[in-house]
Structure 1
């Protein structure tokens, strides 16, 4: 049985992630000016360390049947809620946001793991209820998602909150919801935008206004997008070469090793390097959707769909904001942006999807 499970493992996905991670290491090394005397390899080394930790976590998840993992979904959900509450008690504040819990020399970001906790717990919930059949079922889903979402919004972390909504809509859509109800909810959400606007922080409002017109505040809120677009555009077809991007090396791109890592790739690896990365993401998500389609049960389909929704939304928003096509929300690019919590969570999500794929065949006695 173990041998058959290994044979069912989707090695293509692992290879794709390894290629994406290699591009990430090169970009992070350049973004942190590792080739200069004043530069550092710290971020590159730490990203590699987190990748190894993530690899071990992925292997551990593969050893346990995903149905067994999902059977603890209520405890996973509660533990994550408690972690999100703990942030307000002992959390570290950085750049005006209280999102990280310090653990020795490291910092853990519970909101990143809220994505995976939601995928597991909401998938199990939808399996039990056999999908969303009416408005009452949908209200239970809103409550389930709303508790962690509000806790994350208060940090404040609008980007991660939007990712939770993307996961929810992806799962609700494949659960067999009536399309009139589904699009009715989306329509109601659009109509409630003026109300939601009042709950946004000033800097969040400014980001949306700057998205519509970056020149509104070119040296303030619009600076990120303007410099990012200049960097990507100047990379042209083949790029300026690693460690030779002027916007990157002269620090014109803010947060170039985290949120705006794609701008570094666009400038130094050019159109070819950027397209290569996007093609790798498309292949990765395609394989996840294939696993969702071939899953032996609805739980596996929901889990794989949740991960696909998360990665697709994050990729589109992150790349979109560097190109000025989306508002700046601070959403990291999966497997690419620097960040231990993000990378570890994505490796665990990869392990969960591979888990569904390798156990796609029912055992018959």
Structure 2
């Protein structure tokens, strides 16, 4: 009877539950190891990991709650989720709290909340509903393409103002969902053409408007001439594109990356990339063992954006492949679930959420090993976080 009761609570795909369990165990170990900077600030070496475990437990609670919700209620919730996400995105643009130069956070009753995480799920819900409602024997109705673009373009724009990488990953997810949903390839081909043109325009604007922070002149006589002058208020244009400097710096650093002799590496200028490379190189294939990282003390955001580099340093190449393999299994099992669905909506929803999680994980890994420009994307279900961890757990619960 007890086993039956436990089975009712933890129902769903057992393989996904195992994947989630392994990701959580790796997360707890690596966050505990990589949070040395937080430990130093708080003076309590257990506080960061205890908080992380509490957030994971709350995430598991949301998963179990999602298991009890029927798919038809997700359909009903879609318009409300879209409206709420839109209002929160407007709020964060106008009065969001800045972290690392980006206003991505809202403070609700002392809790920092990232609206873009909720908005991603709302968009996936909307796309799944549009695709399922407009399926025909020959694929999706041509009008589905227009409806998807109408809904998604608004959210992608507002997310992209402060978090360009998140907006791009969301676009990839939407594109994959349209391909799975059998949207006519002629429409997808035209969309890709416009996307390439749009990317070229955005890239040009960033390179023209932005100023590479690494190339800005140091304090000199020209600065002393400005003493006594009032600082000019930033224009509306500057406020809108205030992230262009950061984007240009990252693009320049990635495109101009050349082999640098160890003695010529500037650890102050390229700290994140340099220490991530050191962490990977010093793993010696087999790793140093859990808790034995050295670079965690020097690598900024070691517990979040660059936790994969710490995983490689401590668990070696085999540990890195194991983590990547877990995400592949998650995507594969989501595909199996989609194939077994009797209706289109849950199938598209499961695949959309799985693609959303896996593409973010892949991009985080590429950044950690130096194959993509540095961004602020955490590793889903492993990196230390608040909003992202709970909502990612919620997404897994919906898949289950």
Corresponding residue for residue 357 of structure 1: none
Match of 2:169 among 152, 155, 163: 163
- Superposed displacement of residue 142, structure 1: 1.6
Q: CA deviation at 1:86?
A: 2.1
User: Matched residues in 1 for 2:44 and 2:312: separation?
Assistant: 21
Match of 2:106 among 95, 101, 111: 101
Q: Check whether the contact 1:210–1:221 (CA below 8 A) recurs between aligned residues.
A: no
Normalising by the residue count of structure 2, what TM-score does the alignment of the two structures yield? 0.81
Does 2:281 match 1:233? yes
User: Could you tell me how far apart the structure 1 residues matched to 2:32 and 2:128 are?
Assistant: 38
Aligned to 1:74: 79
Return 121-130 or 49-58, whichever deviates more.
121-130
8 Å CA contact 2:250, 2:374 repeated in 1: yes
Q: In 2 relative to 1, CA 39–229 (structure 1 residues): closer, same or farther, beyond 3 Å?
A: farther
- Mapped partners of 1:86, 1:133: distance in 2: 35
CA contact (8 A) 2:283 2:313 kept: yes
Residue deviations 1:229-277 (CA, integer Å, cap 9, x gap): 221121122211233222223x1x2211110010110111111211121
- Aligned ranges for residues 113-262 of structure 1 at < 5 Å? 113-130=118-135, 132-134=140-142, 136-154=143-161, 156-200=162-206, 201-215=244-258, 222-249=270-297, 251=298, 253-262=299-308
- CA–CA separation in structure 2 for the residues paired with 1:110 and 1:301: 25
Pick one of 330, 345, 365 that aligns with 1:319: 365
What's the counterpart of residue 359 of structure 1? none
1:58-93 deviation digits (Å, cap 9, x = unpaired): 111111101222222111111111111222344221
Give secondary structure in 2 for the equivalent of 1:339: coil
CA distance 1:121–1:226, change in 2 (3 Å): same
1:40 partnered with 2:86 = no
Distance 1:193 1:207, change over 3 A: same
Shift of 1:152: 1.4
Query: Is the Cα–Cα contact under 8 Å of residues 207 and 222 in structure 1 kept in the other structure?
Result: no
In the alignment, the residues of structure 2 paired with residue 228 and residue 174 of structure 1 have an alpha-carbon distance, to the nearest angstrom, of 36
Contact 1:32 1:41 in 2 (8 A): no
Separation of aligned partners in 2, 1:244 and 1:293? 43
2:231 aligned residue:
none
5 Å matches for 1:279-290? 279-290=325-336
Change (3 A) 1:205 1:58: same
Deviation at 1:206, TM superposition (A): 2.1
Residue 348 of structure 2: which of 302, 317, 333 is its match? 302
The answer on whether the counterparts of 1:16 and 1:284 sit within 8 Å (CA) in structure 2 is yes
Q: 1:141 to 1:122 in 2, by over 3 A?
A: same
Match of 1:50 in 2: 55
Would you say 1:23 and 2:66 are equivalent positions?
no
Q: Which of the pair has more CA radius of gyration? A: 2
Aligned residue in 2 for 1:264: 310
Q: CA deviation at 1:18?
A: 1.1
Give distance in 2, aligned partners of 1:42 and 1:163: 32
Alignment root-mean-square deviation, CA = 2.5
Aligned equivalent of 2:399: 353
| CA distance, structure 2, for counterparts of residue 42 and residue 106 of structure 1 | 17
Stretches of structure 2 that go unaligned for 5 or more consecutive residues are: 207-243
Unaligned runs of 5+ in 1: 355-365
CA distance in 2, matches of 1:275, 1:67: 38
Aligned length: 349
Q: Distance in 2 between matches of 1:238 and 1:314?
A: 26
- Report the alpha carbon displacement of residue 212 of structure 1 after superposing the two structures with TM: 2.3
TM-score for both structures, normalised by structure 1: 0.88
Aligned equivalents of 1:137, 1:125: Cα separation in 2: 6
Match of 1:363 in 2: none
Q: State how 1:82-97 maps to structure 2 within 5 Å.
A: 82-97=87-102
Asked if the contact 1:101/1:108 (under 8 Å) is kept, the reply is yes
